[in-house]
Structure 1
Amino acid sequence: MLITTYCHKSIIFGGKMTNIRRLGIVVLISILIVSFTALPSCFAASKKKTVGFSSVGRFSLAFIAGEEYLKRYSEANGWNYISAIAENDAAKQSQDIDDLVARNVDVVIAMAVDSKAIISSIRSVHAAGIPIVGYMRPQDPNASVKFDAFAGQDTVAQAYDAAMAVSKMMAADGVKAKDVKVLHVVGDPKDENALKRKQGFENASKELGWTIVSEIVCDAWSLDKALTGATNALEADNSINVALLASDYLWPGVKTALQNQDMLKKRGEKGHVYIASQDLFPVGVDDIKAGYMDASTVLDMNGMAVTAIEMVKRLFNGEKFSETTTPKQFNWMSGTTITKENIDTEKNLWGVEFHPDK
């Protein structure tokens, strides 16, 4: 009514703009502004979430596959996705994560270069009020601060299962446990998964009565150290008939050492060295089919990514995790052990999906 009265007065004065009419327009505009700002929040554009992934590097095809899965599932949820590549350098990873925080990501997903060094980054991300999710590589289990959520694999069981699969083959081939001499190829000791696989292989060897005659440690997952160490071990003891590998990633170095000693034989051929490995890289796929490698337990890059993204979604919804929630704060998947018998029938193998020949 007030506005109508002011408009009426402007007509009386020949349509000229009066102070009263100006006041009426100001009041009208003010009412409109208040009305629009009071609209329900559902009419306001919501901020698109951003996932920031800190990767160890792209020197391993497994890491490339993991990065692709995380990107794929982040974008499927309508989130932005950015990544930073640490090139296997813990100091660079720390800076990368600081940069992701500075770019205002809503969550950090981290594949740790170093299980101890990542602790300071967890602290800095938490200090910024941002959650951090671990992927594939766990932090030091004795750390006082932890990932808000973690998606990984039981790598003790991974190695144990591969050794047990090979033991059944050897028993079927008439090889007695007392005659088994093992070359143990250990991965990077800064990687918690490498340490757990070492434990898994040692548990199996003790249970089976195998003798580990040589152990080599491949710092930074060095192929050169795998080649040099395996060469020295085979030259020192050519009765070695089993090699336990921390990952197929190291297999090319060990394979070359076997070739150089004329010890690379297929199963069924005289002098075959039984190979139990991990992860099922494309090279593992090829050599299991060819008969040179006997077993490799899958590192489930896809399954871990699915779990990590599901936990991110729940964190965005305000959920918190502990060891009593479902899912738990730390989730450990199991992997299928692949042999020549099941390699053509098993589904969702990342080493097949990302095979260079595809």
Structure 2
Amino acid sequence: MKKGTLILVSLLLVLMTGCSLEPPEWAKPNKSGNLEDMKLGLSISTLNNPFFVSLKDGVVAEAKKQGMEVIVIDAQNDSAKQSNDVEDLMQQGVNALLINPTDSSAISTVVQTANSLGIPVITLDRSAEKGKVEALVASDNVKGGTLAAEYIVEQLGKGAKVIELEGVPGASATRERGKGFHAISDTQLDVIAKQSADFDRTKGLTVMENLLQGNPGVQAVFAHNDEMALGAIEAIQSSGKKIAVIGFDGNIDALNSIQAGKLTATVAQQPELIGQLSVQAAKDVLQGKTVEKLIPAPLKLVVKE
């Protein structure tokens, strides 16, 4: 009986050790203080979106400039996968984590784990609801939503009938862009329908097709990102209607669509700059400097010239 108990205790100890997120000695972060020895872990919500590809490129370019190594992982818009990815990055001994959350709530647990291990966290474009984040590098999403609503009022007048295509539920960018938009639209526009299309172009097409059938009087669409806006344009063109569409991000496909006279406007961000600023923030934190909790990247409304 005693022998059996000893075996059970031994197995439990092995399991506990295996489940620990403490990286092995060979993978623990280098504490030399030299940037050349520093390793950053970058978790991107999805690389199936040109905006986040540009954001990643900004991180990689700036890290190379600073002489820092970057490990990039694509969460593929799966919050569970992203949490596992970030745990893997911690196991690889990164000095700092740069996280572009798929879901601001779901990522909180691994942010808190990083906190317990002393690994600083910088978030990009979207925040984490819980845990200590050294800095959020992002555009002013609330202001961007407001810019979109003001433009629709300016172009179509008060009371214009609008459909809103929302982003991923739970993402801070979805909440903030919606908040800014509704600060104007609730009193000056008529939002006749709104539905999530998960920041995805194909879903933007499908959702828009369905919403057009039930809302024939729609005059404009505000999409929380360009990918959904571009999908919505395909649905609108197939219907033969003429409806203004305003996106958000300013990715290359959206800018080309504006010049081609298809997409009406986009609230343009600077994803590469967001990436660059996040690396600079990580560098400052690793060197013991204080950084601002919110590091803004400028945005502007882009229309056809």
TM-score of the pair, normalised by structure 2: 0.83
SS in 1 for 2:37: coil
Name which of structure 1's ranges 229-238 and 96-105 shifts more when overlaid on structure 2. 229-238
Deviations 1:204-247 (A, max 9, x none): 2134x2111111212x3344432232122222232211111111
Equivalent residue, structure 2, for 1:191: 171
Listed as ranges, the matches of 1:119-268 within 5 Å are 119-140=108-129, 143=130, 145-168=131-154, 170=155, 175-178=156-159, 180-207=160-187, 209-218=188-197, 220-263=198-241
Q: Post-superposition shift, 1:274?
A: 1.6
Q: CA deviation at 1:186?
A: 0.9
Q: CA deviation at 1:166?
A: 3.5
CA contact under 8 A between 2:266 and 2:302: conserved in structure 1?
yes
Aligned residue in 2 for 1:340: 304
Question: When the two structures are aligned, how many residues end up with a matched partner?
Answer: 272
1:304 alignment partner in structure 2:
274
Amino acid at match of 2:243: V
Corresponding residue number in structure 2 for 1:38 = none
Highest RCO, 1 vs 2 (Cα 8 Å, sep ≥ 6): 2
Q: Quick check: 1:69 aligned with 2:91?
A: no
Given that residues 166 and 294 in structure 1 are in contact (C-alpha distance below 8 angstroms), is that contact kept between their aligned partners in structure 2? Answer: no
Tell me, in whole angstroms, the C-alpha distance in 1 between the residues paired with 2:165 and 2:91. 40
**CA deviations over 1:159-208 (Å, ceiling 9, x no partner):** 2112223432x2xxxx4423x1111111111211012111122122134x
Letter in 1 for 2:76: E
CA distance in 2, matches of 1:232, 1:85: 30
One-letter identity of the residue aligned with 1:333:
A
Worse-superposed segment, 240-249 or 284-293? 284-293
What residue is the counterpart of 2:96 in the other structure?
Answer: 107
AA of the residue aligned to 1:214: A
What root-mean-square deviation, in Å, do the aligned CA atoms of Structure 1 and Structure 2 show? 1.8
Alpha-carbon separation, structure 1, partners of 2:259 and 2:201: 23
Contact 2:222/2:229 (<8 A) preserved = no
Shift of 1:127: 1.7
CA distance in 1, matches of 2:250, 2:35: 42
Counterpart of 2:262 (choices 292, 307, 320) is 292
CA change 1:47–1:165 in 2 (3 A) is closer
Aligned residue identity for 1:160: T
Counterpart-to-counterpart distance in 2, 1:82 and 1:105: 8
Q: Secondary structure at the match of 1:177?
A: coil
- Please give the per-residue CA displacement for 1:136-159, whole angstroms capped at 9, x wherever unaligned: 11112xx3x221222112111112
Are the counterparts in 2 of residues 162 and 297 from structure 1 also a CA contact under 8 Å? yes
Amino acid at match of 1:335: L
For the 8 Å contact 2:144–2:267, the answer to whether it is kept is: yes
Runs of at least 4 residues off by over 3 Å: 222-225
**Structure 2: segments with no counterpart, 5+ residues:** 1-33
What is the DSSP-based 3-state SS (H/G/I as helix, E as strand, rest coil) of the residue aligned with 2:72? strand
Identity %: 21
Indicate if the aligned counterparts of 2:138 and 2:274 stay in contact, CA closer than 8 A. Answer: yes
Shift in Å at residue 47 of structure 1? 6.3
TM-score normalised per structure 1: 0.72
Q: Secondary structure at the match of 2:123?
A: strand
User: One-letter code of the match for 2:190?
Assistant: T
1:336/1:245 CA distance change after superposition, 3 Å = same
One-letter amino acid of the counterpart of residue 179, structure 2: Q
Separation of aligned partners in 2, 1:106 and 1:227:
41
Alpha-carbon distance between aligned partners in 1 of 2:196 and 2:215, rounded to the nearest angstrom: 18
